[in-house]
Structure 1
Amino acid sequence: MAASKQGPGTARGAIRTQIDENLKRVYQEVLTEEVPDRFKDLLDQLKARESGDAKEGGQ
């Protein structure tokens, strides 16, 4: 009876390991991608707006 319990449990463990490895691989690929220029432009606009708001609030 114990041997039959190990079969499915071992299969689940192997599946989880494979899923973990695939997720790590995909996540690592995303980390190495460049940020799109449009997104960089939007971030620059946000920073400029925030610094403008900070200057106005301090006066």
Structure 2
Amino acid sequence: MPPDSGRENEPGWAGGLRKLYNSVVDEPLPDSFKDLLKKLDGGGDA
């Protein structure tokens, strides 16, 4: 498989969108959101 794997045909804005997506994915979750997920999973005190 070539290293670009089809990226030579993508629009110019695709690289910026990929970079933005990756920066959002790498952000840590706020504690309040973690607490909410814990409650929804049944592991909280609520």
What is the SS of the residue equivalent to 2:28?
Answer: coil
The sequence identity of aligned pairs, in percent, is 35
Q: Superposed, which structure 2 residues align to 1:19-58 within 5 Å?
A: 19-48=13-42
- Please, which runs of 5 or more residues in structure 2 have no aligned partner? 1-8
- Secondary structure at the aligned position of 2:36 is classed as helix
Q: TM-score, normalised by structure 2?
A: 0.64
Unpaired segments of 5 or more residues in structure 1? 1-12, 50-59
Alignment correspondent of 2:5:
none
Higher RCO structure, 1 or 2 (CA under 8 Å, sep 6+) = 2
Give the deviation of 1:31 after TM superposition.
1.0
The structure whose Rg is larger is: 1
Work out the number of aligned pairs and report it: 35
